[in-house]
Amino acid sequence: MFDDETLRTRANVAVFKGLTPDEVKLFYDTSQRVTFNKADTVIEKGQTGSALYIILKGQFEVDLPLGVYVPQQVGGQVERRTSKVQLNTLKEGDCFGEYSLIDQQPASASVIATQPGEIIQVTKAAFDAILQANDRVAKTVYYNILRILIERLRKLNTDYNLFLLNYGV
């Protein structure tokens, strides 16, 4: 399904850091390639079903869509949003979908292509089967996901602090 050059290049994505090319190939052999046009929605907030998505090319925006004055129940609280909130911009080598993959909850944000792109999709069943069959791969991948999430959280904290400073809070 994937040639050796593609595997060598894709072995450098953050979620696979520290894995051998043969270990990375386990994920690519069980995945599907999916292409998207600009403005296509990959994941819609509230969508059920989980998979890990890895961007091969293109750029994608993670956002909380317009709430259209319709209160939504979120974690026991009512969410009211009158405008879209952009959370992140993802590019080649980045991954998304890890929240729902791990906690099996509906998607907490939408992911939209901001330019034509291509991703691979590893379903939860395939992801779990690979990790259950290989402890070293599981430890490495979970460690990498944790590092990715911490990096995103630190960026969010910095952005939030800047927002507070700008508004004198």
pLDDT in tens, 62-109: 998 876 444 555 566 666 656 677 888 999 999 999 999 999 999 989
Q: What is the CATH number of the domain that holds 126?
A: 2.60.120.10
- The answer to the question of residue 75 being in a domain is yes
Cα–Cα distance measured from residue 77 to residue 67, given in angstroms and rounded to the nearest whole number: 14
* Residue 168 located in a structural domain: no
- Residue 114 in any domain: the answer is yes
Domain that holds residue 28: 4-156
Q: What is the pLDDT of residue 139?
A: 98
Residue 164 covered by a domain: no
Q: pTM for this one? A: 0.81
pLDDT in tens, 27-67: 999 999 999 999 999 999 989 888 999 999 999 999 988 76
Number of domains in the chain: 1
- Nearest Cα residue to 145 out of 89, 96, 93, 88: 96
